[in-house]
Amino acid sequence: MIGFGSIFGSGWLFAAAHVASIAGPSSLISWIVAGLAVLLLGLVYCELGAALPQAGAVVRFPEWSHGALPGFLMGLVTTIAFSSLIAIEVVAARQYAGAWIPGLTRDVGGDPTLAGWALQFAVLGLLLMVNRAGITTFALINNIVTLFKFCVPLLVVVFLLAHVRPGNFTLHGFATGGSIGVETAISTGGIIFAYLGLTPIVSVASEVRDPQRTIPFALIASVLLSMLVYVLLQAAFIGALPARLIAGGWQGLDTRLALPFHDIAVAIGLAWLGLLVVADAIVSPSGTANVYMSATPRILYAWSAGGTFFRRFQRVDHATGVPGPALWLTFGLSVFWTLPFPSWQSLIGVVSSALMMSYALAPVSAAALRLTAPDLPRPFRVAGFGLIAPAAFMIASLIVFWTGWTVLSWLLSVQLVACLVYGAWSRAAGRPAFGTAWWLFAWLAGLLALSRCGSIGGAGLVPHPLDDVLVAGFALLIHFWGARSGRPDPALPEA
């Protein structure tokens, strides 16, 4: 229930229309492939979370396995991803609220009006107040929201499937975007974004009875259950579409349906279901934003504790247990992310790539720790780790690559510059510039070069699917290089 609840935010509300416009009916395949990829990554995170259960430890795993530079980069990427995810969820809630409150959203592109942006700011301020009050208030509100948001997607599936037109699945062919369409739908269509919500399971990995059984069950069940619901929602969406909306093809469908499930429900005469969708679409993303408004300060706290970020963010309010300065920084960042990227679709490619890059380091860290810290107590050990870890890293690298050159050209470049700046600062302080993290620098530079030469927004020098093969082979080499580059951390026994 924890895993399933954290996964469902704004992803199901907008992704169905967006991925259908990219891949048509073959978007069903995209949901399945992405679910299996997240399942592999989640298994690796379970081993790390059970062995090193600390607040915000997700940013410390690379530091414990490879030193300060990967820890710094992990903190930077995760903070960007988590804080912008808060903005995404609030933007999604505002877009759906526009169905009830005129004047919140512009007619074109879903961008906010001044009133719409003010509403977003007010919601973010409310989430700040909730989290300042402490974990008890946060938990009470989160439980109420989670209970409500389970019901509406199931009602949507049941009633839309009753109006399915089988001909919609073959009207313009099944795979209208080809294999590139399936891949792009995963990375930038919102699919991988919709799945990445397994952190709560990892955070309790060391606190459950019989983790060898309980953690795999919770993780596998939540991912498979989410996959089932997502596939059914996509099938119901495609099948229930009025024929006039796709008469000219699938491309641009998301622009014709500003509020996808609401608009379809109204179009087929289920106005009451449309009202429920709008209500859930306001409450559900806001609830997920609340979760990440709570999680991001813990990430900043752990990043600061690692010594590669400002020490002041380790300060904790002893009355509430909340890292106050980190919470205020989270609020500021979430407000900032509503400024340059005003629509849900604009943010998705950036956040999906940043989240996947933060997840991708886990298999390398776990593999390195198996070599450098073999005696580390591991309440949960991944069976078949020698196959699962490289496969997870390859799939994560592919998903990042599928984001395309438009996003990666600056996202990877910023990270490379951050590595160089941090390396120069380390050298000036008398420490090794990159230490055991040269593999990380090579991975970022290699992905940037392959994206530039590839077929997804790049120069097309390497045709598809050969570019996928090259990325997978390159990722495999980097994984084994990184696994063997680990070094024992003297702070690990204390951690």
Q: What pLDDT score was predicted for residue 138?
A: 75
Q: What pLDDT score was predicted for residue 87?
A: 87
Q: Determine the structural domain holding residue 332 and report its residue range.
A: 2-355
Q: What is the tens place of the pLDDT at every residue in 291-347?
A: 888 888 888 888 887 776 666 677 777 666 777 888 999 999 999 888 755 455 556
Q: Return the higher-pLDDT residue of 356 and 215.
A: 356
Does the pLDDT at position 83 exceed 50? yes
pLDDT tier, 452 (very low <50, low <70, confident <90, very high otherwise): very high
Task: Identify the three-state secondary structure at position 121.
Answer: helix
Average pLDDT score, the chain: 84
In this structure, is residue 34 part of a structural domain? yes
Residue 67, sorted as left (phi over 0), alpha (psi -120 to 50) or beta, turns out to be left
Q: How far apart are CA 106 and CA 214, in angstroms?
A: 47
- Structure-block tokens of residue 112: 């906010």
- Structure-block tokens of residue 221: 């069940």
In this structure, is residue 388 part of a structural domain? no
- Structure-block tokens of residue 73: 């980069």
Q: What pLDDT score was predicted for residue 442?
A: 95
- Dihedral sign, Cα of residue 56, residue 57, residue 61, residue 67: positive
Please state the domain count of the chain.
Answer: 1
Does the pLDDT at position 107 exceed 70? no
Q: What pLDDT score was predicted for residue 265?
A: 92
Q: Return the higher-pLDDT residue of 358 and 5.
A: 358
Q: How far apart are CA 326 and CA 316, in angstroms?
A: 9
Q: What is the tens place of the pLDDT at every residue in 357-407?
A: 888 899 999 999 999 999 888 888 888 999 999 999 999 999 889 888 988
Question: Where residue 139 sits, what CATH number does that domain have?
Answer: 1.20.1740.10
Q: Return the higher-pLDDT residue of 341 and 238.
A: 238
Half-sphere exposure of 415 (CA within 13 A, CB side): 31
pLDDT tier, 428 (very low <50, low <70, confident <90, very high otherwise): confident
Q: How far apart are CA 123 and CA 369, in angstroms?
A: 41
Other C-beta atoms lying within 10 Å of the C-beta of residue 318: 7
**Residue 70 · residue 440 · CB < 8 Å:** yes
In this structure, is residue 476 part of a structural domain? no
Q: What pLDDT score was predicted for residue 347?
A: 62
Q: What pLDDT score was predicted for residue 413?
A: 92
In this structure, is residue 345 part of a structural domain? yes
**Residue 94 · residue 124 · CB < 8 Å:** no
- Angle, vertex CA 473, rays to CA 472 and CA 474, nearest 5: 90
In this structure, is residue 400 part of a structural domain? no
Other C-beta atoms lying within 10 Å of the C-beta of residue 391: 21
Q: Tell me, what amino acid is at 20?
A: A
Q: What pLDDT score was predicted for residue 154?
A: 87
Does the pLDDT at position 112 exceed 80? yes
Does the pLDDT at position 495 exceed 60? no
What values do phi and psi take at 233, rounded to 5?
-60, -45
Does the pLDDT at position 149 exceed 80? no
In this structure, is residue 128 part of a structural domain? yes
Q: What pLDDT score was predicted for residue 256?
A: 83
Q: H helices of 306-343, where? A: 324-337
Q: How far apart are CA 435 and CA 414, in angstroms?
A: 20
